[in-house]
């Protein structure tokens, strides 16, 4: 009978532990990133009254007769499923939706603790912290400014390496893109002859460039439609003239030309040709178009009526023959074409044409030298301009210039991206990667030990730890401006609490019943 007391007492103790765990879960229902726990029970040692016996020829087998000696708590299991994500709107709040733990430094001993609480902040020295613990990750960048996310993790300080301020960067290049309005009237007398520059530009681009000290200079580029060369009817060339100026500096060269083909695409060179007719066949320069190689061509017209036979001899002595009812013909020379339009009158005879080529070169990558005023105290600097993305059409969209370079700035804010990269925003409008937050992954998450402050420590049963950026190594991307809520299920906890309460009451009744039975035994006479 006495064992009933001890069994019931073990039940009381076990249900007390169960209730303690339930109470802790309920008390942490609003704890950021908290993981609920549950209790596992098992029976204790059983007293064997008689052992089992096997069957014989004269009797059957018997089962063992055993009396259990109570219950014990074998484990407190941690539920590592993710909690719901709650938006906070705070830039430094971060939530993990899947596997992984944030890594923090555990003081001066060099060990690490792990947490699901992403409530981060920056202290006065620039350390990224969680509840005073320094968050760990990577802070070294490669030559392109990207954080190197391999190797050992270390505490993150957003100010180290002079990251609190950004030095000025001199402008070295500017990219131009957009459309010049082809419907404008041409002002020039040749592809590279604008003549008198009009008072009103046909288009304007503006950009701000910076010298080595970060001083800003406003540069204006005015565009003027210059000339349309239609000597090649199949591909007329249109040139535009530009002028660059600044009220704060001198620009050299201050002007230049660009040219576009019939599709509005930029061309590097164009060849303008002239044609003269030395014969009596009726052809004239005005009635011919060509992009054939330069040289002397001979055209023999035979026949006194329709059709005419046209025989062309090129500068290399090659002959080409065509028949025509009106005198028009196109000869494919392999290296170009020679096209004749029908003359007003056509007679038999021989004409000699001289094609003289005048090649004009246009650069799509001019370099402008900006010379600051002498009182500024800094040297001239060159800006390589890329005009290759400019086109012409009937659009009025205009041309936009995008230069590099910037003034000096100070860190004004940070943002944490989905992969844990911390991006700094500076007062000069520039951004820079400052660090990357590391996520720890364990073989057995449930083997971690809770140490308080929402922290976990590695144990011999948690397995090896690996560090990744968010989104790699089975981890998920991070949700920024959010926190992970506790995964406590209140409805389940209340049900568990009532079951624990009834189990506790039932065990207490066993003690009462055993006491009454013992009292009856003592009262016997």
- List pLDDT tens digits, range 227-268: 998 867 778 899 999 999 999 999 999 999 999 999 999 998
pLDDT at 286 exceeding the cut of 60: no
Host domain of residue 104 = 88-166+409-484
Segment 175-203 shows an average pLDDT of 94
Phi-psi region of 126 (alpha: psi -120 to 50; beta: other; left: phi over 0): left
Strands in 133-134's sheet, in edge-to-edge order, are 120-122, 128-130, 133-134
Q: Which residue, of 403, 431, 463, is where some domain finishes?
A: 403
Report the C-alpha dihedral over residues 124, 126, 130, 131, rounded to 10 degrees.
-20
Same domain, 450 and 509: no
Between CA 197 and CA 205, with CA 201 as vertex, the angle to 5 degrees is 125
Nearest to 267 by CA among 362, 186, 178: 362
Q: What is the largest CA-CA distance in the chain?
A: 160
The sign one gets for the Cα dihedral 501, 505, 507, 508 is: positive
Same domain, 480 and 500: no
Same domain, 259 and 117: no
What is the predicted pLDDT for the residue at 277?
65
Phi, psi of 88 (to 5 degrees): -120, -20
Same domain, 263 and 368: yes
- In whole angstroms, give the CA distance from residue 231 to residue 219: 36
pLDDT at 309 exceeding the cut of 90: yes
Of 140-149, 282-291, 305-314, 353-362, the least confident: 282-291
**Average confidence score pLDDT of the chain:** 91
Which residues have C-beta within 8 Å of that of residue 205, sequence separation ≥ 6? 176, 178, 220, 221, 223, 398, 399, 400, 401
pLDDT at 274 exceeding the cut of 80: no
Which is it for strands 381-393 and 173-181: parallel, antiparallel or unpaired? parallel
pLDDT at 278 exceeding the cut of 70: no
What is the predicted pLDDT for the residue at 204?
97
Nearest to 383 by CA among 373, 371, 375: 371
- In whole angstroms, give the CA distance from residue 22 to residue 19: 5
Same domain, 330 and 207: no
Residue 286, Cβ neighbours under 10 Å: how many?
Answer: 10
Residue 164's pLDDT band, with cuts at 50, 70 and 90, is very high
The token duo for 370 is 């900006």
Of 7-11, 13-17, 180-184, 291-295, the least confident: 291-295
pLDDT at 357 exceeding the cut of 70: no
Which residues have C-beta within 8 Å of that of residue 373, sequence separation ≥ 6? 248, 249
Same domain, 212 and 328: no
Q: Write the pLDDT tens digit of every residue in 119-134.
A: 999 999 999 999 999 9
Nearest to 171 by CA among 401, 430, 383: 383
Q: Write the pLDDT tens digit of every residue in 43-77.
A: 888 888 889 989 988 889 989 888 888 899 999 99
Residue 97's pLDDT band, with cuts at 50, 70 and 90, is confident
Same domain, 196 and 228: yes
Specify the DSSP element, H or E, that contains 321: strand 319-324
Same domain, 419 and 396: no
Segment 504-512 shows an average pLDDT of 91
Q: Could you identify the residue written with the tokens 């990357």?
A: 436
What is the predicted pLDDT for the residue at 436?
97
Tell me the three state secondary structure of residue 117.
coil
What is the predicted pLDDT for the residue at 283?
79
pLDDT at 463 exceeding the cut of 90: yes
- In whole angstroms, give the CA distance from residue 85 to residue 24: 21
Segment 152-180 shows an average pLDDT of 95
Which residues have C-beta within 8 Å of that of residue 263, sequence separation ≥ 6? none
Q: Which residue, of 382, 403, 424, is where some domain finishes?
A: 403
pLDDT at 8 exceeding the cut of 60: yes
Q: Write the pLDDT tens digit of every residue in 426-436.
A: 999 999 999 99
CATH at 239: 2.60.98.20
Which is it for strands 431-437 and 421-426: parallel, antiparallel or unpaired? antiparallel
Same domain, 185 and 260: yes
Number of domains in the chain: 4
Same domain, 236 and 338: no
The sign one gets for the Cα dihedral 514, 519, 522, 524 is: negative
Nearest to 248 by CA among 367, 372, 369: 372
Same domain, 474 and 504: no
Strand partners of residue 426: 411
CB of 483 closer than 8 Å to CB of 93 = yes
What is the predicted pLDDT for the residue at 291?
62
- In whole angstroms, give the CA distance from residue 32 to residue 36: 12
Residue 287's pLDDT band, with cuts at 50, 70 and 90, is low
Same domain, 26 and 159: no
Q: Write the pLDDT tens digit of every residue in 376-423.
A: 999 999 999 999 999 999 999 999 999 999 999 999 999 999 999 999
């Amino acid at each position: 009978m006495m064992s009933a007391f001890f069994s019931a007492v073990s039940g009381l103790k076990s249900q007390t532990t169960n209730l303690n765990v339930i109470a802790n879960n309920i008390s942490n229902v609003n704890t950021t990133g908290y993981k609920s726990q549950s209790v596992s029970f098992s029976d204790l040692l059983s007293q064997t009254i008689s052992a089992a016996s096997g069957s014989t020829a004269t009797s059957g087998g018997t089962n063992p007769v055993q009396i259990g000696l109570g219950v014990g708590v074998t484990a407190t299991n941690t539920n590592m499923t993710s909690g719901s994500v709650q938006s906070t709107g705070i830039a430094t709040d971060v939530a993990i939706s899947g596997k992984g733990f944030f890594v923090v430094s555990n003081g001066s001993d060099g060990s690490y603790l792990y947490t699901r609480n992403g409530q981060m902040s920056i202290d006065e020295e620039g350390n990224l912290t969680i509840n005073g613990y320094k968050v760990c990750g990577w802070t070294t960048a490669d030559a392109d400014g990207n954080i190197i996310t391999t190797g050992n993790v270390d505490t993150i300080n957003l100010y180290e390496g002079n990251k609190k301020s950004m030095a000025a960067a001199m402008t070295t290049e500017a990219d131009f893109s957009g459309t010049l309005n082809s419907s404008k009237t041409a002002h020039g007398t040749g592809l590279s002859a604008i003549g008198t520059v009009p008072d009103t530009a046909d288009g304007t681009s503006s950009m701000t460039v910076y010298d080595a000290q970060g001083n800003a200079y406003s540069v204006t580029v005015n565009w003027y439609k210059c000339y349309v060369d239609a000597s090649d009817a199949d591909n007329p060339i249109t040139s535009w003239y530009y002028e660059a100026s600044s009220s704060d500096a001198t620009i050299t060269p201050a002007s230049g030309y660009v040219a576009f083909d019939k599709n509005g695409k930029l061309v590097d060179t164009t060849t303008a040709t002239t044609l003269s007719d030395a014969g009596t066949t009726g052809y004239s320069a005005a009635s011919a178009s060509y992009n054939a190689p330069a040289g002397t061509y001979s055209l023999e017209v035979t026949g006194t009526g329709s059709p005419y036979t046209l025989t062309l001899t090129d500068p290399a002595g090659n002959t080409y023959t065509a028949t025509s009812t009106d005198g028009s013909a196109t000869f494919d020379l392999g290296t170009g074409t020679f096209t004749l339009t029908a003359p007003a009158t056509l007679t038999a005879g021989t004409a000699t044409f001289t094609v003289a080529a005048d090649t004009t070169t246009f650069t799509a990558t001019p370099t402008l030298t900006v010379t600051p005023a002498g009182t500024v105290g800094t040297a001239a600097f060159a800006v390589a301009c890329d005009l290759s993305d400019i086109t012409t059409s009937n659009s009025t969209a205009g041309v936009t210039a995008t230069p590099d370079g910037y003034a000096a700035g100070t860190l004004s804010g940070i943002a944490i991206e989905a992969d844990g990269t911390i991006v700094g925003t500076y007062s000069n409008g520039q951004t820079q990667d400052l660090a990357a937050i590391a996520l720890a992954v364990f073989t057995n998450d449930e083997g971690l030990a809770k140490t308080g402050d929402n922290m976990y420590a590695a144990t011999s049963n948690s397995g090896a730890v690996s560090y990744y950026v968010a989104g790699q190594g089975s981890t998920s991307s991070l949700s920024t401006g959010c926190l992970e809520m506790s995964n406590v299920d209140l409805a389940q906890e209340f049900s568990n609490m009532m079951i624990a309460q009834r189990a506790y009451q039932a065990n207490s009744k066993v003690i009462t019943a055993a006491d009454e039975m013992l009292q009856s035994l003592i009262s016997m006479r």
